Amino acid sequence: MRALSYSITLELEKKLKNINSLCSSTKERLKILPEEHRDYIRRNALISNIGASTRIENAILTNVEIDWLDETLGKDAKKGSFEKNKKAIENKLSKDKQRSIEEVAGLRQVLHLVYAQATELFPIREADLRELHRQLLEYYGAAAHYIGRYKIAPNSVIERVGNKVTREIFKTAEPGPITAAAMQDLVTWYNKALPEHLWSLAVIAEFVYRFLAIHPFQDGNGRLGRALFHLGMLHSPDESLSFMAPYLAIDRQIEKAKPEYYIVLRQCSGGIYRPDPTEYSMERFLNFMLKMLERSLTEDIQYYHDKYLAYQKLGPRAVKTLQCFREHPETTQTTGALAGETGMNRRTVIRSLHELIDAGFLQELGKGPGTYYRLIF
């Protein structure tokens, strides 16, 4: 069995070593932080990944709304939590966001499962992938006839802006025996290659790219593929990489580089599915993902670290004011509305708002009497 379908050039090896070094040094910095501090960074990374990955596929919930939804559902993904709170969530958020709410709840469930049960998911089985797909689309009623099953109709990787299909990135594997055989080969290869290969990230990149090229499910392949990248890092025998996986908001970086992401996906394939993975240019995808990882390691973790420290310095009135914003994730706030909700006088509210702006939690919009404020995630 081949170890890898593409060659690691000297340039890629240099980048892989750089990521290993960054993971190792960042791990040591995180390990000396209090658990509460690390939990804050982990949770912010989770919310960012859920928001970014669903928005890449055209969902419209903001991270502020997802943060509120996640708090409403609790600290884990217990069965029944979403169904119990669904009506309250839909009443809180705009009516046009129902599909996005269902997608967010499904991906949240998948990522919680991935982070909690990664060990049990290696070696991974096709049944595990089908179960992850079922979890992903569990709350989307229209998927009932294909949830957890390989596709029965042709599909393709497409790039969307708004509700409009802008272009087909590449044609994927035909449904039926071709998809079934390709998935069996992919899972068998991954389980053998990951523990044996020197560069875990190279194996993970191939696994995810081939998964996306096959596009085995009727819907949800993009979200699931990105979740599998996180799962692959948790599976890695590289302890620094697996330790860092829950702290990395990789999908946040992919969302910011979305046009490049789709360009790379097409460049690797030439626009068509190829049964022989050696015919792909997967080194392009690895190069892209290494860039996303580097940005997350150097930008996101520091951002969430600094935000935690800023939160610890807030005065009690600023914390009370901030909580008002969190309880109303869709709306902006005015000083008058905040005074009424907090019971503080306008002068105190204004001081609290300025404190939150200076600390990077709020954005001030408008001028004079029309000034209003928006929460920044």
Residue 200 has pLDDT above 60, yes or no: yes
- pLDDT tier for residue 162 given thresholds of 50, 70 and 90: low
Confidence of residue 161 (pLDDT cuts 50, 70, 90): confident
The predicted pLDDT at position 56 comes to: 95
CATH number of 316-375: 1.10.10.10
Residue 291 banded pLDDT, cuts 50, 70, 90: very high
What is the pTM assigned to this prediction? Answer: 0.95
Please spell the DSSP secondary structure of 52-100, one letter per residue.
Answer: HHHHHTT----HHHHHHHHHHH-SS--TTHHHHHHHHHHHHS-GGGHHH
Which distant-in-sequence residues (6+ apart) come within 8 Å of 159 by Cβ? Answer: 165, 166, 167, 169, 262
pLDDT at 360 over 60: yes
Judged against a pLDDT cut of 80, whether residue 158 lies above it is answered with yes
Q: Which class is domain 10-310?
A: mainly alpha
Which pLDDT value is given to residue 2? 66
Give the model's pLDDT for residue 369.
Answer: 78
Does residue 88 register a pLDDT over 60? yes
- Distance CA(285)–CA(358), nearest Å, equals 39
Both structure tokens of 35: 């658990």
Domain positions in the chain? 10-310, 316-375
Alpha helices in the chain (DSSP H): 10-31, 35-56, 63-73, 81-92, 98-117, 126-136, 177-196, 200-214, 221-235, 239-244, 250-256, 258-269, 282-295, 301-312, 316-327, 335-342, 346-358
- Say which residue the tokens 């709350």 belong to: 139
> Within the chain, what is the greatest distance between any pair of CA atoms?
71
Helix (H, G, I), strand (E, B) or coil at 186: helix
3-state secondary structure at position 353: helix
Query: Mean pLDDT in the chain?
Result: 94
Read off the pLDDT of residues 100-139 as tens digits, 9 standing for 90 and up. 999 999 999 999 999 999 999 999 999 999 999 999 999 9
What percent of the chain lies above the pLDDT cut of 70?
A: 98
Give the tens place of pLDDT for each residue, 335-344: 999 999 999 9
Task: State the average pLDDT over residues 223-249.
Answer: 98
